[in-house]
Every structure is written in C-alpha cells, then in structure tokens.
Amino acid sequence: MSDLSSKLNTGMVEKYRNNFLKEVEANVEEGDWVKMCMQCGVCSGSCPLGAHWDHPPQELFMMIRAGKRDEVLQSTSMWMCTSCYNCIVRCPRELPITHIMHGLAHYATRLGIEPKGQPTRQFAQLFWDNLAKHGRVNELWLGVNLYFMNGIVEGIKVALGMAGIGLGMLKSGRLSLKELIGGHTVKDKKGFHAMIKKAQELEAARVDGSN
Amino acid sequence: MATKEYSFYPGCSSQEGASSSNYLKSVQSMCDVLDIKLNVIPDWNCCSASIGYCGGGELPRLALSARNIALSEQHNAGQDIVATCAACWLATKETQERLDDDAGLMEETNVALAEAGLKLENKSKIRHMVEVLIEDIGFEEMGKHVTKPLDGIKIAGYVGCQTNRPFGIEGESFENPKYLDKFIETMGAEPVENYDKKVSCCGGALAFSEPEKSQALIKDIIEAAYDGGADMIVTPCPVCQMNVEVYQDKINAKYGTKFNIPVTYYSTLMSVAYGKNGKESGLNGQIIKAKQLEAIASK
Amino acid sequence: MADEMKIGAYICKGCGIGERLDAGQLEMTATRDGKAKVCQQHDFLCSEAGVKMIQDDIDNEGVNHVVIAACSRRAKTEAFNFENVTLSRANLREGVIWVRPDTDDQQETTQEMADDYIRMACAESKFMHIPASSGQQSVNKNILIAGGGVSGMTAAIEASKAGYPCTIVEKTAALGGATAQLYKKIPTKAPYTDPEDNGVAELIAAVEADSNITVCLNSTLTKTAGAPGRFEADISTESGSTETKPFGAIVQASGFTPYDANQLPEFSYGKNKDVVTQAELEALAITANGGAIKRPSDGKEVQSVLFIQCAGQRSKKEGHLEHCSGYCCNASIKQAMYFKDQNADVDTTVLYTDLRTPGAGGENFYRSGQNKGITFRKGVASEVADGANPTVKFKDLILDEDLEQEVDLVVLATGMVANAGEPTREQITISENEAKEAGNEYKVSVESILNLDYRQGKDVPHMGNGFADSHFICFPYETQRTGIYTAGPTRRPMDSQQAMDDAMGAAMKAIAATENSGLGKAAHPRVADLSFPSVRLEGCTQCKRCTVECPFGAIDEDERGFPQFNESRCRRCGTCMGACPVRVISFENYSIDTVGQQLKAVDIPDEFDEKPRMLVLACENDAYPALDMAAQNKLEYSAFVRVIPVRCLGSVSLSWITDSLNSGYDGIMLMGCPSGDDYQCHFVKGSLMAQERMSKVGDTLESLSLEKERVQTFEISITDIHKVPKIINDMADTIEQIGMSPFKF
C-alpha cells in the first residue's frame, strides 16, 4: 500500500506539475469549491479549535491556490476539524468547508503523505477499520485500540487514566464486555464487504486511474 | 390519533451495551406514550459518522448510508427514515443530498450497492426524531401527555452542533435555535435563558484523540450552564451527552472546578414527565445521577 | 399687506388636548395676550368641518393671519394649508401634552407651557407677511449639459424625453468620453458573468437622432452667469467663436482624468513597457479584438498577467489618491477575463488588499471571475523590478510571506481624478497666502469647467478628495450651487453604469430646478417656499459677511460692495440673516422679529417663583423632528422649556441670544445638525457658522456676569430621539445648581 501510494503521489506531482489547485479540484471531495473562497476568514474565526490549526481553512485555500502542495497535504491542520459545521453555515460563499477538510485529509492519506503520528488521523483510521470489519462500530474495541495505538506502555497509562470513565460507562450499562467477544455486527457481512470493496475500486479508478 | 409509523435507524451507539443505549430506552418509552411505532431498518450498518473520512473515501462513505436508505426503501417502503443520533441523521441526509446533486456518484453508488443485492431510489424523507416530534406531533400534543410536570428544575438546553448544522430544524436559526427550550418548557421545567454555549462544539469525536483540547471546550459548555443557574443539561445528541457528562471528573481535576451536573436527553425528560419510571426513562444509564428526575419518576 | 392685519386663532381639542388643557383659558390667552380678533375651539380641527370653519373665517371674517393651536407644525400640513394668509402653529400636542405627565400636580406648569405657545404663535403671526413675488422669475426649460460622455448623453436623452431641450458642450471632437475607450464594460445585466459591449455607439446614435438635443463638439464654457431660470452661458469653440445661450439649469457631467501613473516609479511604469495602466490595457484589448492580447515591448502573446489593485490610491503617500475609485476591482476582473475567455491557460492574478465590487452584479461578477480561474491574492505590491519580464515583489497578507512573481505583463489599477474645476475663491486665497509666506507663487493648476461668474468662485465647491459632491444621502446630485447638478465621476468615483443611473437623477433635479425657479419657489430642502431675503440697503455697512457666509454663493456684490441677492440661487436658509450684524436682512415670513417677538412673548415668572425658563432654538430639519419623535415616544422633558423652530442654526441672530438673556431666560440651547467633514446640515455650513458665532457669546455672558453654562450649542441628528429630552433635562438640572438668572423683571 505504501509503495502504491508513493507511486500515486509521484504520479500526481508529475501530472499537475504547477497547478495544485487543479489537482485538488480533480481529486479532493468538494475540491471544486476551493477557488471560490473570498478570504474573509469567517471560517477560521468560527472554528472551535481554530487556535490549534497551523493553517486555518482560509489559509489552506490560499495555499492551495499558491501551489503549496506539500505544506497543505502534510499539514496537521485539517485533522483538527471537529465536524461542528460552524464554518459551513457561516461561510458567505457557501463553501462546504468541513467536507473539503475531510477530503484533503483523505487525499493526503491516499497519497501516503499525511502526518503519521497525528492522533485524530489514527483514531479516524481505527474508526473506519472498526466499522468496515463488522458493519457496525464496536465501541469497546475502538476504545481499546485507541488507548494502545501508541504502544503497550503508553496504552496502559492512557487506559488507567480513562479507567474511571470506563467503569462509569460499564456500571451504567453503556459499555459491555460482551463486545470483546462477538459483539454487534451486520448480518449480511458478505454483501456489506463486497459493497465497500466495489465502492473503493470505483473511487480508485477515478483518482488513481487518471494517471 | 392513529399510530404513526416510521422506518427507524437506531445507529451504533444506541445498541445494547453501547454509549447511548439509555437514549434508546427513553425514546422507546416516549414513543409508547405518543403512539409512535418505530420499525427498525433490518440489518442497518454504521454511517461512518463524521470521523470515517481517513480510511473511507467519498464513495465508500456514501455507499454506507445509501445501503441503509435502500434497505429502508425495500423493507419499510413509504415510511420516513427517522434517526435519533445527530451523526446518523446528518450522514444519511448528506448522502441523500450529495447523490441527488451528482448523477455520476449516484450511478457508482448503485453499482456498489448491487454487490449487496440492493438498489437505491433515494426518495425517502430523512428526519431527526426531534423533527418528528415538532412537526408531526406538535408541542401542544406533547404537552397533553404530561402527567408529572418537571416543576422546579432549571435546565440548560444544549443543542450542540450536528442536530443544528448544517441542516438544523426547519424554522430555527443556526446561532440560537429555540426548540430545545420549548421542549423543556412543555415538560414543565424552566429553560436557562440565553444559554451562551447552546450551539458550541464539545469536540465531537476529537474528545478521544484530542482530549485536552476537547475538555477545554466542554468546560466552557458546563460553566455556562452553571452561570445560567442550571440544575442539569439536556441535549438531543449522543456524542454531546457523553462528552459533556463523562469528563466532568477529569475537568475538575485539571481546572479545579467542582462540576457535577447531570446531562440527559430530551427524551429522558419526556419519559419522566409522561409518568414512566426511572428504568423506563433510562435514568439508570446516568453516570452523574439525575436526582431531581429520579425523585419525580419514583413519586 | 395693504389689508389690516386680522389674527384668527383656532384651538384644537382633539388628540387629548381638550382633556389635558383648559381650552377656555387658552382662548383667553389668545384674545387677551395674543390679540387674536377671532378665536374658536374645535373638537377635531384637522377634520373637514374644522378646516372649513377656518376657511369660512378667512373668506367671510377677513382673517388673514391664521394661528393653529394643535399639533406640531410638521403634522397635518395638508389639512392646514390655506392660501393668501400667514400661518403660525402653536404645538400643544408634541410640544406640551405628550412630553408632560398627566398628573394633577403637573397640571399648572403644563397649562403655562400651552399658554406660552399660544402667545408665541400670535407674536410670530403679527410679524409675518405673505410672501410676494420678487419679479425675478422666468421660465427657461433649456438644460445645459457640460460633458458628452455616457453621463452627459444619458442626462440629455432623459431630459429630452421629458420635454426639456438640451445642449451638450463637449471639449473633445467626439461624444463618448472614457467609456468609448473601453473594449468592453463591466456587465450591467443578469447573470453578470461576462463583460459586455460598451454601448456607446447606441447612445451616440440616440443623441444624434434627437432633434431636441444640440451637440457642441470641440467646445468649452468660457463664462456662465446668472441663476437658475436665467443662466447665460458662453459656449466657445476651439476655433475661437463664441455663442451665448440662455439656460434654466445645468448638469455638470465633466467626468474624470486617469491618475498619472508616472508618479509610480516603484512599479517601473514608464521604464518597462510591459507595465501598463488599465486604460492602456483597454487599448491593447481593442487592438487584439478578441484574439490573443500581445504585450507592448515585443508583441509576445501574454501568457501571464498580474493586476496590481489600488496602485497609487487608497494611500496617504504624497502624490497618491486617498480615495477608492470604486470601479477598478471590477475593471481588473473584467480585464483578466479578456485573457481567460480567449485562452483559459493564461495565468491571471489579481493582487488586492480589499476586493470591492460594488453594484447589483458585482459579487456575481467576482464569483464568475473565480469560476473562470482568475487567481485572487490578498497582498500588497512593493515593487515591480524591471527586466525582460517584469517581476512583481509583494507581501501575501494571508500567507504572511514576501514573494515574487515574474509575469509577461503587469497592469496597474490606478484611480480616478475628478474633473471638477477650480477651487473656490476662498480656497484659492488661502493657498495664495500660504504660497506667499513660503516665498512661492500659487497658480491654479486645473481648468475651470463652468467658469461661473459668481463672487465665490468659478466652479461648484468640492467636497472630499476633489470631487464636486454635496451630501448625497440628504441631497442627491445637489451641489452647493443651486440649479447646477453633478452626475458621474465628477461627483464621486463610479463606473459607467452607475454614471448613467446618476445622470438620470441629475437630469430630474435639473428639470425640477427650471420649474421651481420659474415660479419663484425654493429648491430642496425648503421646496416651494416663496419667500426670499430682502435687505434694507440704507442700513447696510457693506461688511460682506452675508456674501461670504452664504453656503450657496447666492449673493454677489455690486461695485459699491452692497449685497446683490439672486433669488433663485437662494435656498432660504437664512444664514445671511444670522450673519448680518446690523439686522437688515429678513424674509417676509421669517425675520429677526418673527423669532425675536416669540421669545419676548413668553411669560417669565418672578425669580422667586422657582419656575425657570429655558429657550430652545431648534433646527427645523433635524432637531425639531427629533423633539417631535421624542414626544411621539412619550419621553418627558421639563415643563420650563419653550422651543422655537428655526430654518437653520445658521440663521440664528446673536440678537436673539442677547434679547433672551436680557428678558430673564435662565438657559438657552441651540440645536443644529452635525457639522464638519460628515456634516448633516441641510444648508451645508449653517450649523458650523452658528457654532463659530456662538463661540463669541462668552463675552456677552461675561459682560452680564452670567455663567457660560447658560448658553449651549448641541449637534443633533434626526435620530437622536432619546438625546434631546436628556439635553433639556440636564439644562434644567444645571439651572437648579447655578440658580436663576438675575435678569427677571
């Protein structure tokens, strides 16, 4: 996968040479909208985690237009999106900013140049793997995987720190150890997996195949 | 009034032993009183919420919700799809909109669905439970069923993000929606006026990955509720409920606060006001016990 | 006037006046103190029956001075509209009952207030006369239009359609002005996505086909004399012949001159041929005529172009323009489209600090530009380096980085300099004196447009940044010279569509001016006022204050230095009356006496009665309406105040202040409009003049040993509804602190 993505990345650089905006328009979810930003900054000012972005959305849009490919795709910024949709409803140009942020994050992942240790990136990947496996999210495994994503030692520390919360959830019946074995799942796993695989193939053909 | 039937999308967090199973419990009690029948979409799957984007590209994510809509159209034909979870509702509604706007994506989605033997018409109306309550039942009717008014409780109506944006509830503003306050009032409790953090973000899924940043947001949400004189907080969103309730000890440890405020769902209030007992209202699912509600429920 | 004066006073008891006040007492005041020969009460005076009662007295009883004691003079003006009589209004509703609490303990002071307003209205009535014609009137429907660009042509076409013959005087050899030099213009129609044909040919054809429009090309105005209704203009051709023609009104549509880019050496203008202005790019686009645009230096097809917005404008730097020219952002978007529409691969960048796209379609046009792939960068250019290709050095304000971009062509968005003519005589004198002190000689560097034969200067006064504007919100298209209206970029920066819209407004104003002056009626804001200033020349000391202070240049001087009034240039503000130290200027219905006798008619109680008296002289345009609205909102104020409306604070004579102080008033408040750069004075500088004069009242107060707090001037906007009652009540508090005036007799 990493060989594949690195090949894809090189291919994209080659293909769009000077025009990162065009690359974004062609390959990023809702990327068509990037050119319509008018740089008012309402998105940046509306973001609940705005202070933690290296480059707030408005700036990312300008960087895309200025051809700053690596700085955009390797940025941790869009991984700060909490999906609160404040920017979307306030944008005077009605850009689907939340979706563009998700799209940029996904595209960077697809190219294999996303910031590897970024915690939200890791959690988001775990979440997807979790749901893609069973068709439904298994909250217990999600939590366990999350706490141990940085290794056993770190994981035990984090897990101990969260033990109070986990205990509370267990006591109130909102976390079940039954999930460790079996747990919730869709019945038609075969059809579900075939559907996801087909969707991934179609999408790959659109993005990767356009080389 | 005749029984109202809906195609119901419960979502992962409402499953047995999951984080908002108590939400589902209270919804069931509430629907029982209001004569609402919820027909679960058979074999529904996860919507991927708003955090599935790393691994899932646009089309695979659209396929997830498309599968649910298709299953509903097949098994619960003619019924509106109703979700109780903000993220489930949002992802499904977004999928419907995106596929309506883009014939190419619609075609590809159907190719993928065919692998699971399904076909999407994409004609079902996709609604949040609060829309059903406001639009199909109405506040007046909801009020008629109150047998134990929640007298003397002051409640901060925390609407949060995804029930409010980008779609929101018809006729409400993004910056200051009023419906949750009306629910509170209808159940006989007193809403906090001008609750400052009514539509602020709790960090959502980032509560897991960026705990410190998210807890700073949550702290403000709770603080504003206390500032408004609230006894408790009520919300329509499972992620909001969980984030605002479960981290209070951690926030207290970090910021030296003394937060201990119960956070429940609108349906919890309704269930109790409709005379259901604590268990039926999901009160045993509270980590921070809602003692005032418990007292009323056990009367 | 030959008839004997007969005052008829009519007291309304409607709107609660009858319940709150003793009408019998008011009637007694009118007849005993006010000397009204006829006095009647009515339950509903503005009703048909009430109005008929008054009209019957005028027709049958010989009443020729009517006093209405009812609501504010601003209310029910249509009902109380009688011919051939003078009309005074005692404001019992907004002025008394609505601002006083309805309680028994306040009844006495409230009634006293009402009685005083009756006395004041009767006193005013006694000194008012029915305005008679000046005999200066003449109707001339011909409209002179200075400038043959799209503004001038539109004004001519519109006025002609309404039946007013027009003469266009155009300096160059052809009609069309600046717009004719455009390859295409900013779109004017939905969906506002693409540049549009400039439309000049159609306009010229319409002008040429109109027999009501005369066009004088290669011509200028070498002299413009007279006044609205009787202007005389000398139209001189390049070849030297001059023709004098009479006009009723003038539209000045003299356009703009592009800013001289040679003042921008930092952008290598003049050094590098591939640095051009927007106007020069239009010429390149006309040459290309839809094909690839080629750059001037080597004829290479342009592959990359960068537009520098705000070049030499919106800047306080020496030699730069301070204003935003308003059209250049849209113009750059349009010009970038010249490239993009021909070849989408041309790299087009617009470097802006604030992109401003005014007009109905501006935002759509901006979006269309973004859709077509124009790159908009928020940044400031510091330098264009000369070279085979110019290199633009700039700071990107979003990325906060200093960057460079090498391009085939640089376009400078330079701004507009108004063709507004010479400064006023007063301003020229100031500049001459300044130059003299510095040992230099001052020369007016611009050509006059109108060459007015007015005492106060050859052109209409400029407002801000050299544009010939007045106050657009309150007085659209008006200049400070009655009967002369500006349209297009000479008035303020704008694009061609805005200029054409502007021209229609100015044409309508010009039409109204010809008609009003023909009837001897005032122009805005005292529309239809028939009175005009008259002067007792035998008392005049030739001090020239009236001629200097008139905001509208209405007064010339004869060879002996006596003022010469031009009725139709006059707006009837009375600033001349307020200026005159010997009180020889007056209007028939507004004079030193009509106000002076009112303030003397107020009953001043004994010092020991603890009933002070305060006087408000309130501008009728803003302060008086604000007081009325305060009353409508039932905001209370002191019962010790008496309000007299004045036409403008500029008309306030110092004698009124002195008389009031001598009569024993305890406090005086002058309420006028805001002055200064953002003035709201309906007569431009009336409130400013008043402030200047009042600054000298201190001496008078000192000579009377009175506290300076007793006379105060306030700037009031029409929206200051909550402020006005507070000012009055604060003055009442002040008087309570400093004590009553000792001048009560």
Is the model's pLDDT at C494 over the cut of 50? yes
Instruction: List, edge to edge, every strand of the sheet that includes C143-146.
Output: C213-216, C166-169, C143-146, C249-252, C484-486
- Give the pair of three-digit tokens for residue C741: 């005036």
Whether C549 has a pLDDT exceeding 50, the answer reads yes
Q: Rounded mean pLDDT of C718-738? A: 96
A62–C373 C-beta distance less than 8 A: no
Pick from A85, A137, A172: CB nearest B165: A85
| A204: its two tokens | 């790959």
When pLDDT is averaged across residues B59-71 and rounded to a whole number, the result is 98
- Given a cut of 50, whether residue C299 has pLDDT beyond it is yes
Which CATH number do you get for residue B274? 3.40.50.11810
Q: Look at residues C531, C516, C525 and name the one whose alpha carbon lies nearest to residue C586.
A: C531
Question: Is the pLDDT higher at A101 or at C677?
Answer: A101
- pLDDT confidence of residue C316: 94
Q: Enumerate the β-bridge partners of residue C112.
A: none
Angstrom CA distances, C248 to C141, C158, C233, C513, stand at 5, 16, 11, 7
CA C654 to the chain's CA centroid: 25
Chain B nearest-CA residue for A176: B17
Q: How far is CA C363 from CA B141, C187, C195, C355, C416, in A?
A: 47, 11, 14, 10, 22
In a domain, B215, yes or no: yes
A chain contacts of residue B246, beta-carbon cutoff 8 Å: 165, 168-169
| Terminal-residue alpha carbon distance, chain A | 17
Domain membership flag for residue B86: yes
Q: Among C115, C85, C109, which residue's Cα sits nearest to residue C640? A: C109
| CATH 3.50.50.60, chain C: domain bounds | 143-255+419-519, 259-416
Given a contact cutoff of 8 angstroms between Cβ atoms, the answer to whether C116 and C25 are in contact is no
Q: Are A23 and A15 in contact (CB under 8 A)?
A: yes
Probe site for chain C from A62, A71, A72 (most C CB atoms < 10 A): A62
pLDDT grade for C529, boundaries at 50, 70 and 90 = confident
- Asked if residues B261 and B289 have their Cβ atoms less than 8 Å apart, the reply is no
Report the CATH number that the domain containing residue B44 is assigned in CATH.
1.20.1050.140
Give the residue from A131, A157, A162 with the most B CB atoms within 10 Å of its CB, the best one to mutate: A131
Angle between helices B86-101 and B58-75 (to 10 degrees): 100
Strand order, beta sheet including C38-42: C38-42, C7-12, C65-70, C86-91
Q: Omega into B262 within 30° of 0, i.e. cis? A: no
Mean pLDDT of the residues in chain C: 94
Least confident span in A34-43, A175-184, B150-159, C251-260: A175-184
Name the more confident of C443 and B92: B92
Chains that touch B (3 or more CB pairs under 8 A): A
B68 and B152 both lie in a single domain: no
* Whether C311 contacts C325, CB under 8 Å: no
C396 interface with A at CB cutoff 8 Å: yes
**Min distance C351 CA to chain A CA atoms (Å):** 12
Q: How many CA atoms lie within 13 A of C503 on its CB side?
A: 29
Q: Which residue from A minimizes the CA distance to B242?
A: A169
> Once rounded to an integer, what is the mean pLDDT over residues B207-222?
96
Q: Looking at residues C476-496, what average pLDDT do you find?
A: 93
- Is C377 touching A (CB cutoff 8 A)? yes
Which residue does chain A place closest to C372, by CA atoms? A35
Cα–Cα distance for residue pair B235/B220, rounded to 1 Å? 16
Q: What is the mean pLDDT of residues B70-96?
A: 97
* pLDDT at residue number C139: 84
Task: Tell me the chain C residues in contact with residue A58 when contact means C-beta distances shorter than 8 Å.
Answer: 398
Is the peptide bond preceding residue C525 cis, with omega within 30 degrees of 0?
Answer: yes
Task: Count Cβ atoms within 10 A of the Cβ of residue B75 and give its class: 0-12 exposed, 13-18 middle, 19 or more buried.
Answer: middle
- Chain C hits for A17, Cβ within 8 Å: none
How close C369 gets to chain A, by Cα (Å)?
9
Give residue C136's pLDDT.
Answer: 64
Name chain A's partners: 3 or more CB pairs within 8 A.
B, C
Q: Show the tokens assigned to C99.
A: 């601002």
Say whether the B–A interface has 3 or more Cβ pairs within 8 Å: yes
Check CB contact under 8 Å for A59 and C398: yes
pLDDT of residue A180: 65
DSSP lists the bridge partners of residue C618 as C645, C671
Report residue A84's pLDDT band, with 50, 70 and 90 as the boundaries.
Answer: very high
pLDDT at A210: 47
Lowest mean pLDDT among A135-144, B224-233, C114-123, C269-278: A135-144
Burial pattern C675-708, b for ≥16 Cβ within 10 A else e, equals beeebbbbbbbbbbbbbebbeebeeebeeeebbe
Measured between CA atoms, the residue of chain C closest to residue A37 is: C370
Q: Is residue B135 part of a domain?
A: no
C117 CB within 8 Å of a chain A CB = no
Q: Distances in Å between the alpha carbon of A40 and those of A61, A87, A92, C398?
A: 11, 12, 9, 10
> Using CB atoms, which residue from A125, A175, A187 is nearest to B43?
A187
What confidence category does residue C1 fall into, taking pLDDT thresholds of 50, 70 and 90? very low
The tens digit of pLDDT for each residue in C587-634 reads 999 999 999 999 999 999 988 888 999 999 999 999 999 999 999 999
Flag whether pLDDT at A1 surpasses 60: no
Task: Name the 3-class secondary structure at C13.
Answer: coil
What pLDDT sits at residue A149? Answer: 65
Angle, CA of C121, C123 and C128, to the nearest 5°? 90
Superfamily of chain region C259-416 = FAD/NAD(P)-binding domain (3.50.50.60)
Cα angle, residue C469 at apex, residues C467 and C470 outer, rounded to 5°: 150
Task: Please report which confidence band the pLDDT of residue C575 belongs to, taking 50, 70 and 90 as the band edges.
Answer: very high
Q: Which residue has the higher pLDDT, C695 or C313?
A: C313
Residue C372 at interface with chain A, using a CB cutoff of 8 Å: no
* pLDDT band of C134, cuts 50, 70, 90: low
Contact C16, C23 (CB under 8 A): no
B20 CB neighbours in chain A (<8 A) are 174
**Confidence band (pLDDT; 50, 70, 90) for C137?**
confident
Confidence of residue A13 (pLDDT cuts 50, 70, 90): confident
Structural domain includes residue B195: yes
Instruction: Tell me the per-residue pLDDT of A104-158, one tens digit each, with 9 for 90 and over.
Output: 999 999 999 999 889 999 999 999 999 999 999 887 777 767 666 666 666 666 6
Any idea which of B281-290, C372-381, C550-559 has the lowest mean pLDDT?
Answer: C550-559
Ramachandran angles phi, psi of B76, nearest 5°: -115, 50
Which of these, C585, C508, C497, lies nearest to C549 by C-alpha position? C585
Question: C331 vs chain A: nearest CA distance in angstroms?
Answer: 18
State residue A155's pLDDT score. 63
pLDDT of residue C245: 97
First and final C-alpha spacing in chain B: 29
Domain count, chain B: 2
Which pair of structure tokens corresponds to residue C626? 């604000």
Least confident of A113-117, B47-51, C702-706: C702-706
Tokens of C354: 């604030």
Band the pLDDT of C373: cuts 50, 70, 90.
Answer: very high
How much is the average pLDDT of C467-488? 86
Domain that holds residue B199: 147-297
C583 touches chain A (CB under 8 A): no
- pLDDT of C2 reads 47
Pair (B88, B161) in one structural domain: no
Whether the complex's predicted ipTM surpasses the cut of 0.90: yes
Q: Are residues B117 and B152 both part of a single domain?
A: no
For residue B287, list chain A residues with Cβ-Cβ distance below 8 A: 168-169, 171-172, 174
pLDDT digits (tens, 9 = 90+) for C396-449: 999 999 999 999 999 999 999 999 999 999 899 999 999 999 999 999 889 999
Touching chains B and C? (3+ Cβ pairs < 8 A) = no
List every span in chain C annotated with CATH 3.40.50.
Answer: 1-130, 604-745
CATH 3.40.50 for domain C604-745, yes or no, is yes
Contact C653/C644 with Cβ under 8 angstroms?
Answer: no
Task: State whether A35 and C378 contact (CB < 8 Å).
Answer: no
Test mutation, A39, A68, A69, chain C, max C CBs within 10 A: A39
Confidence class of residue C34 from pLDDT cuts 50, 70 and 90? very high
Mean pLDDT for B112-126 is: 97
Tell me which amino acid residue C148 is: G
Measured between beta carbons, the chain A residues lying within 8 angstroms of C355 are 38
> What's C1-130's CATH class?
alpha beta
Q: Let me know whether B284 and B207 are in one domain.
A: yes
Rounded (to 5) percent helix, strand, coil in chain A: 70, 0, 30
Same domain (yes/no): B81, B203: no
Does residue B137 fall inside a structural domain? no
* Domain identity same for B118 and B164: no
Mean pLDDT, chain B, integer: 96
Spatial distance between the Cα atoms of C197 and C194, rounded to a whole number of angstroms? 10
Which domains are assigned to chain A? Answer: 2-115 (1.10.1060.10), 119-199 (no CATH)
Strands C614-619 and C667-672: parallel
Segment (H or E) for B103:
helix B103-114
Residues B175 and B276 in one domain: yes
User: What mean pLDDT is predicted for residues B166-191?
Assistant: 96
Please indicate, yes or no, if residue B91 is contained in any of the structural domains. Answer: yes
- Token pair of B33, please? 């009183």
Q: Give the least confident one: B15-24, B192-201, C362-371, C503-512.
A: B15-24
Q: Note the CATH number of domain C143-255+419-519.
A: 3.50.50.60
Both B31 and B160 in one domain: the answer is no
* Cβ within 8 Å, pair B115-A105: no
Confirm if C154 and C207 have CB atoms less than 8 A apart. no
Determine, for residues A137 and B208 on separate chains, whether the beta-carbon distance falls below 8 Å. no
**Joined tokens for residue C527:** 């529309």
Query: Rounded mean pLDDT of C533-552?
Result: 93
Residue carrying the six token digits 């707006």: C571
What is the average per-residue pLDDT within B84-93? 97
pTM: 0.86
Interface of A with C (CB under 8 A): 35-36, 38-39, 58-59, 62-63, 65-66, 68, 93
Rounded-to-integer distance, Cα B143 and Cα B248, Å: 32
| Rounded (5°) CA angle B146-B150-B155 | 125
CA distances from C485 to A144, B136, B262, C169, C217 (A): 80, 62, 71, 15, 21
Q: Are residues B97 and B151 in the same domain?
A: no
Contact C396 A62 (CB under 8 A): yes
- The whole-number pLDDT of residue C430 equals 92
Which whole number is the average pLDDT over C509-529? Answer: 89
Chains touching C by CB (3 or more pairs below 8 Å)? A
